[in-house]
Structures are given as structure tokens and as C-alpha cells.
Structure 1
Amino acid sequence: MSLDDHAEELASSLGVDKTEVKGKLENLEQYGVPIDEAKETVRRNYSDSESTGGGEIATKSVADVSTADSRVDTTATVLSVGKRSIQYNGDQQVIFEGEVADQSGKISYTSWEDFDLQPGETVHLGNADVREWEGHPELNLGDSTSVERVEDDLDIEYEVGGDARLATLEPGDRGVNVEVQVLDVEEKQINGRDGETEILSGVLGDETGRLPFTDWEPRSELSAGTSVRIEDVFIREFRGVPSVNVSEFSTVEALETPVEVADSGTQYQIGDAIETGGMFDLEVTGNVVAVRDGSGLIERCPDCGRVIQSGQCRSHGAVDGEDDLRVKAILDDGTGTVTAILDEEITAEVYGGDLDDAREHAREEMDREVVADSIRDSIVGREFRVRGTLTVDDYGANLEATEFTTHSEDAKTRASRLLTEVEA
């Protein structure tokens, strides 16, 4: 069923104008809301309107706005203003987005009109639509919304302007400013909405942590080793972790004073790390309790890079595999377990030999499994500190390691720490 059909069906059941319903569905669809959920949201909005006397709009504090609301009036201070271009109904649409706050809390907004909002000003928003975004209410400002400047300042506890540290960023943040050091950057070619597109991809760092970034309008200022202030970025989730997105409307300014970057990742117990749902550049410490199958000297498909079995790739069938080294080590610290995945370089360090050495070892023993067995003997039962990027999905928790080192804690200190954890 097409969107037009869904709109007609819903409008007919509600007894309202189809064009208006279709517009609301398109708005929700643009943000990736499933059609059934979008229809229920629109249905609820119309029902709310009928129950409040045919369109009477409630005046609410920010904290009282809920996903059950259709439209609200509220007075708030503008915390941040971002600008972004999106694809909407086949055309490019510039939207404005950020957060507003009052004494009770803060809420994100998306504005489809240019109301010339400025951080720090207090505004009364009249007839603001409310929609659900990632389980939370969000204000939608459109052509039916009125924006009135208010002279009185509100007593809010939030910082105005959008400045943030990397460790505080979450998917969905918009209109954010960061001061960072570019740690790594490379040019990439992708198939974008306008065909073949060149982007920059890499890693940013500050004193609180590191995050991946994408620059959709490649800028020469974003070169490795430079410290910059980037204004008006938005945060998306990429492979389970927040990712900084630099858009065509973002500005990049070089900083005279270098930004300090944390030497280590954020330290977590494994159980707590898994609860976050994913994190970039963290550290955990635990015992390797097993090395999983598919470790050691493996073969990958030359087309997609997947590990193959008996010369068969799940996507490309029979292929001539390419040798590689990998370890999938199960790490346990008593609070949870995670699979630490070591790439060829780290695996070679653990194994004590490179890919050629592993091939020779396998030929001598006429068994490729001897490489994995050798690795098991060297790491199982020992404690390691692992740094990397954590992803959590239905198949479990995986930590793509960038560092894998023997934990240097002495036996006495370790025993005291374990006893403290047990007593707690």
C-alpha cells in the first residue's frame, strides 16, 4: 500500500482532509517512523484535538509535553540552533533544529520555517505540533506555529549555545558545537543521494574521549593533527555508537591552542559497558576464558570480506579465499562477557608471527587449526586490558580491539580489588 493509500484510508476513518493527513504522514516518514506507528500517531493527534473541544491548545511547561499531545503552547529559552538540508518529497528542504528549555526541563525541536531563532532568546511558541522521536516528544514548528519574543529571562539550568564535549554527545543531538583535535582522516567515495559522492571520514578527540566523524562537504581544515572548532554538527548512530556529522552548514575554524586528547579510553566494567548499548573508544579489563572458533588462520571472501568455510561464501558461493589472521577472544570480568575481536596486526603480536609465519606453521603441521591452538595456549586464563569500539546487538556484545595488552596489575593489588568487588 502506498503512502497515498494509507493517507486516504486514515483520512476516511477520521473524517478529515486527506491532504492534511498525508502531510503529517510524510513528515513522520521523513524521520524514519514506521508507517503503522505514524498512522497511530496521527490518529491519536486528531483524537486529542476532538477531546479538547475541537482544537483548543493547552499551555504546558516543557517537562509536561508528552507524545500523547497533539499541539501545545509553551514558553522556553532557545538553547541551540542547527541548520541542515534534507530530502523531502523528492526536493531539498532546509530545516532548523536544536533544543529549547524552561525551568522544568528541555526538549528538542525541528522547525520547517525560518523563524530566525537565536540561542539565548526566550520565545513563546504557539500551536507547536508534537511528534514522537526515538521514544521522546519533540516540538515541530511549521507554518501554523507562531513565535513571539519574550523579554523576561527564564531561570534555566542548561548551558546556552550548544557547546558540548564528545563524551556527552548522543544520537539525535542537533546544533552542537565541539572543539576537537582531528586524530585520523581519510577520503572516501560513497554512493550518496546525488550519486557518487566524496566525503571525509575519521576520528575526533578531546579530553573526554573520541568519536568517529563524517564530513559531507570535505574541508581541507579537517586534516590529521589539527585542532578545530566545529559549529553546528548533528549526531547520528553509526554501528551502535554516536557519530559526529559535519554538514554543508557547519563551520570549521582552526584553533591556536591544541586540544588535549585523553590518552586512554573511558574505563568500564564489561556489564556496565554492555548496558550502554554501544560505545566508541572504551577500555575494559578481564580474563580471556576462551578463544572462539573462527580464530587463527582464516580465509575471507575476496569480494565481501566475510569469513568463508570450505571455500564457500554465504553471499558469493564458491570462491578462492584470501588468508587472514583474526582472534575472537571471550573476555570475562565477573560483571559480564564480551567477545574481543583482534585484527591481523594485533593477532600477529599475540601469535608471535605474521601471516607468512602462520601459513608455514599450518603447512608443517598440515592443519590450519594449529595457529588458533597456539593462540589459545598463550592467552586463555590470562588477564588483559582491551581498548576499542563496543557494539551490542541481538547476537551479543563485540569489542573491535585497537589495543590488547597484558594487564600489569600485580597479584596483591588484583586480589584486593577482587575481594572488594565480591564484598560489594
Structure 2
Amino acid sequence: MLELPFDKIVDKIVADSKLSKAEVIGLIEKKKDELQGLVSDEGAAFIVANEKGISFIPSKSEDFTQIQDIAGGLKSVNLVGRIITTYPIREFESKGRKGAVASFLIGDASGVVRVVIWNELTRLISEKKISIGDTIKILNAYSRINNDLVEVHLSNRSRLSLNPEGVSVPELGAFPQSNGSASNQGGGEVVLGTITYVFPQVRFFDVCGECNRGFKEGACTTHGVVAPKKSMVVSVNLDTGLLVYRCIFFGDVAASLFASSVDKLFADFESDSSLQVHMDSLRKAVMGRIVRASGRIQTNSYTNTEEIVVRSLDLHPNPVEIGLALAREVAA
């Protein structure tokens, strides 16, 4: 099934039909009324597009799709781009058979997408046959949605060629500018990754109501005896595709991970007769999310491993902006 955000469907109809956005929205609402609410906004929009003769699938086998226009669910995707970065190979076993998977990030003038390769094709990375900056042409791939992001996957019938003649792709440093950044900000580390594990221990404690620092012997070392307020700490594993970081969240940043506040979470934990059930529910809601965390790296004196103390958290990162920023950083 073709998967495309509602706004992109509307923009495509506006561009190809010459109707105004308001007119297109009106047609979609009318179609939903005709079908008595039995279709989603996206479904009604696709019906309107079809009635207008608008296709979201390239009509010719050699037509190339711009990265920003790739939707999930396409069975034949042709694209060209420049390799921004590669990720390590991961081996796995499924139903008694061993396999391998790897991926790399490519960009064109419109955006960035992750390309996933399987088994024999992973030799492209293990044997270093592809390099950052190479131009790549991909034919007959397919697309899917993974963690709310579009990915391009290569199958046995897919074909690719490196640095083909007659293909024009912007140099790494010439990708479109954006407001995002994947580099260090304010001296801190910025990482984009998937939350793969939430540690079960969530601890609440008192801090100074004036400066948020911890109490020592019942008082703040700066403000003395003041009214305390609650804070909290929670840790997660964040998988960037290259490394897995342990990230530690404190206070409001920790609470924002669960789309809540410290006071509400503390009250819930205090009143919940089954604390473990409540925590399991929160962990389930968080695991698998893609986030961008910014903070400082420190070495855990107990485990002697690096961890990130997170100062700010973006729960809805823009992967295109981050990918383009990474491309410019690589080219610098």
C-alpha cells in the first residue's frame, strides 16, 4: 500500500491540477462526506488525485524519483543520489538461517533517505566498494516505512551502479541549506537514534526549588533551607546505527520523554498500586521512537563506559534536515 503524508498528497494535487489548496481540501472533504467517513483523510485525497488523473508512481521504468517524493509502499523505485555515510553490517539469524543487513544514507537536491541492503549486497560495505561522496544509481528498489521514516530497500531484482556517466547529483557541500544541525551545539554532543531500551529504574528525589540542585543534609548548598521540589532520573539506550549510547535524563527533560511532567509522574507513581505495570506501560510507549538528544559526554566511573547526560530532547526530529547537515559536515 502506498504511504504518503496527507500534506504531500495535497501538495501534489495542487501542483498537478492547478487548483488552489483550499479547493483541493474542499474536494477531499466532499469525498469523505460521500463515503460517509469510511475513509481516512489520506484515502480520500488519493481518490481525488486518481479522479484528476494524478499518479504518484513514476510512469516509465527509467524515471527517477526525487528523494523527497518517495513514499512508503512503492514496489519499484528508481533514484540517484550521493552517498553521505555508511553504517556497520549487522548479522542475524532467523528461522535457523543466518543473514546480514547494512545501510547507507544518500542525498540528492531534494532530501536524504536511508538505503537498506541485505546479505550478499552487504559486501559493498565490508569490501569497501562504496565510499562517501560516490554517486549511486538504484533501479527497481522498493520502499517501506520504518519508525515513521521512509526507507529504500534493495531486493534480488534491484540493480545499482556506482558513479554512472551522465548522472548529475549535487556535491556533498552543495545540498540545500537547512536550519537543522547534526553537529556539536554549545560544546555538547548531538545524536539522532532509536530508543531500544528503557532501564526499569526510575528514581524520584528532592532538589532545591530555586536552582534545581540536589540537597545535601536537607539543605541547598547555595540557598540554604528552602522548599524542595521533585526531580527524577531515567536512563535509555539510544542506537544511532553506528553506536549505542546510554543516555541519562533528569528533571523536566526526563518527564518530556514520557510526554508528562515530573509532578504528574510522581503522583502517578505514588498512587499506582502496581508500580511495575505503570512503568512497563511507559517504557512500551517510548521504545522504538526516533529522537535527537543533545548533552555532554561523561565517563561512568563504575562501568568505565561513556554516557550522555541529556540537556535537551527533540521528540520529533526532522531526518531530512539532520541528514543534509551531516552531508555538509562531511564535506567540510
TM-score range, shorter chain: 0.3 to 0.5
TM-score (norm 1): 0.32
Please identify the structure whose Cα radius of gyration is greater.
1
TM-score (norm 2): 0.40
Whose RCO is larger (CA < 8 A, sep 6+)?
2
